[in-house]
Amino acid sequence: MDDLTPVREVAERFGVPISTLHYWERRGLLTPHRRSGRRHFDTEQLYRVALIKLLRETGLMSIEEIDTLLHRSGTDTWQETIHGRIATLDAHLARLQAAHGYLTHLLTCRHGDALETCPAFRAT
């Protein structure tokens, strides 16, 4: 248990406020160790912090959804959560790809200042 990282270092390493780590603990997502009344995280908890941050930022998942994934039980609820999130991300990706295509088109668009009249924009 000597490889413990103080909460302040964890916050700095992952770029999250200490209050966020405390909140995740209150929600049951993290279980830090206590030394002299201060929170410290072992390696497994550091990986859990990284996973929560990844899911929050890239998967755009709510704390409730993350809780469902981390505390999977014998039910299919966590799989339903993942399927729902994948569908949401697929739709978001489609919108981003359309926006990317239009912005790329703008580099050569001949409609000047009237971009909203561009047939490529109206097709998106």
Give this prediction's pTM.
Answer: 0.75
Q: How far apart are CA 60 and CA 82, in angstroms?
A: 12
> Which pair of structure tokens corresponds to residue 40?
């410290």
Task: Report the run of H or E that residue 93 belongs to, with start and end.
Answer: helix 77-106
Which residue matches tokens 């299919």?
76
Instruction: Tell whether the torsion through CA atoms of 72, 74, 77 and 82 is positive or negative.
Output: positive
Task: Report the run of H or E that residue 33 belongs to, with start and end.
Answer: strand 33-35
Q: What is the pLDDT of residues 66-110, one digit of tens each?
A: 998 888 866 678 888 889 889 998 999 999 998 898 888 888 887
Distance, C-alpha 99 to centroid of its chain: 21
Decide which of 3.30.70.1110, 3.40.50.720, 1.10.10.10, 1.10.1660.10 is the CATH code for 1-73: 1.10.1660.10
